[in-house]
Amino acid sequence: MERGRPQNNPLSFLDPAPSAEVTYPLEGNTKSQGSHLTLVGQPVGYGLQKPVFLAWTVICIAVIITCLLVSDPAHLDLFYIYYQPIIPIVVMFWLWGIAVRIFERNHIRYDVCFSVKDQRYLLFSRQLFQVAGIVTTLVLTNTALFSYHCAIGQLRMASFHPPLVYTSVIAFFLLPANFIFKEERMFFTSTFAKVVTPFREVSWADFLLADILTSLSKPLSDAERGMCHLLAGSVMEPHSSDRMCGSSSWFIPFGLSLPFAWRLLQCLRVYMDTGNRAQLLNALKYSTAFPVIILSSMNNHVVDEDRWDYFYKPLWLAAAFINSGYSYYWDVERDWDISFFSNRTGERTFLKLPKPLLRNDLLYPRMLYIYLMVSNLLLRVSWTYKLSPHLRDNHLTVLCFTLLEVFRRFQWMFVRIEVELRKLQTAQPELGQLVPAPVHSTGLGGRIPSAPPVRKPSKGLDVLAEDDQVDGWS
């Protein structure tokens, strides 16, 4: 059975275009038909059909909104503590499915970025939507029941739902039972385990998941806070464990720092394996997140407001500016391989900014790259909303900015994968034409010298060479 063709077709909305159902000519120890790789997925024998799923989603959302409007403010706080962290994570899952759908429709062989061993566990977009639909149904149903029981005052019943939703979602991915893409779920779990123990060889899957987790650092930290509340005291008393799980707890900055620490250690491991010194600069980029997190948390520990305003806050602003600037530079120059800051042609655009050097043979429309550069900058500096305390303390505002960071990561993936495909195409021409032929044009009518060829890794795609193939890993 080919990847992307589940037999029972539950949640079969957003069916991929016929172009998605293709095989790729690759070599390796994979399940294949002739000389073509067939990425294998299991059929999902459970789930809801599209109309039922959509109707149930609308009903749950209506119940949640209606009940929250009449709920006690304390119960509304509980809703945000327990359920707000899950929303961005589920949205990220849907966005990955949308990204895969776009790759399928445009015949972009994103799967080649992954090692041959890992490719067999990649799902087609339809299958990703099935998994996302199942998780969404679990979360929405639980959230609606929690909101309803809070609204009618049945707090004992409401107290069962937060532990249940966390347990259900975790069990869905960790339970090694033979249902709903078992092998693919175990692959995700093992990749996550490799990310949180970044002392082994780093594959593309490890890198990509770790980078996505840095964009989910806020919801992951909030989920840690939610589970802390579940374990530390009464589920329905939000302030009973504030000293341990509240804003003044050091668990919060610790949870925020973990994804950046994982990614930093990955960079150091790649440097040890390859000797590529660019990875040290990459590690330095992730280290700039720690001063921002620590100084921001000091706001909850400094009693003297003047000391915060005149000492810690300026330091926090400087740290945030350095982190955002460094990260934006790396996104554009290294991850996307766009010569903007390093433009030496003398060409300037509006406000005398350097004109980005783009190839003529772009994979996406030219204006998309300009849009990505501008939107990425705006989203990178979205931390400025914290300068207004009335916005910082608003749950909906925090959720919106968290979702904006998730969307920024979604946008980032497209050009990052294009760049990696170009490097692989140069390093391994036997893979075929992965992207338009690299003309290395400035996009201004002139040409720039072709980049030096990437040395082929000696041990396959999992082993990173000391060359430009890994320079942009961020």
Give, for 200, the enclosing helix (H) or strand (E).
Answer: none
* Residues near 92 by beta carbon (within 8 Å), at least 6 away in sequence: 212, 215, 216, 406, 409, 410
Give the position of tokens 């299991």: 42
Whole-Å CA distances, 73 to 69, 86, 150:
9, 20, 11
Q: Tell me the C-alpha distance between 437 and 467, whole Å.
A: 20
Which pLDDT value is given to residue 361?
75
Stated pTM of the model: 0.81
Task: Give the pLDDT score at 308.
Answer: 85
Q: What angle is formed at CA 221 by the lines to CA 220 and CA 223, rounded to 5 degrees?
A: 65
- H or E stretch at 36: strand 36-37
Percent of the chain with pLDDT over 70: 75
What mean pLDDT do residues 177-199 have? Answer: 91
Strand partners, 339: 357
| Residue 243 pLDDT > 80 | no
Of 232, 229, 226, 220, nearest in space to 260 by CA: 220
pLDDT in tens, 27-49: 333 433 333 344 444 444 334 47
Provide the pLDDT for residue 32: 36
Phi, psi of 33 (to 5 degrees): -120, 110
CA 172 and chain centroid, separation: 19
* pLDDT at residue 282, rounded to an integer: 95
Mean pLDDT of 9-27: 39
pLDDT of residue 352: 53
Looking at residue 37, the DSSP 8-state letter turns out to be E
User: For residue 60, what are its two tokens?
Assistant: 């749950």
Residues 6+ apart with CB under 8 A from 330: 282, 285, 474
CA distance linking residue 338 with residue 357, whole number of Å: 6
Question: What was the pLDDT predicted at 238?
Answer: 66
pLDDT of residue 20: 39
**Mean per-residue pLDDT, 457-474:** 37
Closest CA to 44 of 103, 122, 129, 142: 129
CA dist., res. 203 & res. 187, Å (int) = 13
Check residue 35 and give left, alpha or beta (phi > 0: left; psi -120 to 50: alpha): alpha
How many CB atoms are located within 10 Å of the residue 137 CB?
18
**What number of other Cβ atoms are within 10 A of residue 18's Cβ?**
9
Could you report the per-residue pLDDT of 136-160, keeping only the tens digit for each?
Answer: 999 999 999 999 999 999 999 999 9
**CA distances to 78, 156, 230, 302 from 72, in Å:** 10, 15, 19, 31
Q: How far is residue 58's CA from residue 287's CA, in Å, rounded to a whole number?
A: 42
Instruction: Give start and end residues of each alpha helix (H) in 123-237.
Output: 125-151, 155-158, 161-174, 182-196, 204-215, 217-232
| CA-CA-CA-CA dihedral for 430, 436, 439, 444, to nearest 10 | -160
Identity of the amino acid at 392: R
Output the pLDDT for position 338: 84
Q: How confident is the model at residue 93 (pLDDT cuts 50, 70, 90)?
A: very high
pLDDT over 50 at 466, yes or no: no
For 292-313, what is each residue's pLDDT tens digit? 999 988 887 887 888 888 899 9
**Does 210 score more than 50 pLDDT?**
yes
pLDDT tens-digit map of 331-348: 998 899 887 666 555 555
Helices 366-380/313-329 angle, 10° precision: 160
Q: How far apart, in whole angstroms, are the C-alpha atoms of residue 229 and residue 435?
A: 49
The three-state secondary structure class of 86 is helix
Q: Give the distance, in angstroms, between the CA of residue 186 and the centroid of all CA atoms in the same chain.
A: 19
Amino acid at 205: A
Q: pLDDT for 400-452, tens place per residue?
A: 999 999 999 999 999 999 999 988 988 888 888 887 654 444 333 333 333 33
Between CA 299 and CA 305 the distance in angstroms is: 9
Confidence class for position 290, pLDDT limits 50, 70, 90? very high
Quick one: average pLDDT of 383-404? 80
**Contact in structure between 49 and 10 (CB atoms under 8 Å):** yes
Asked if pLDDT for residue 9 goes beyond 60, the answer is: no
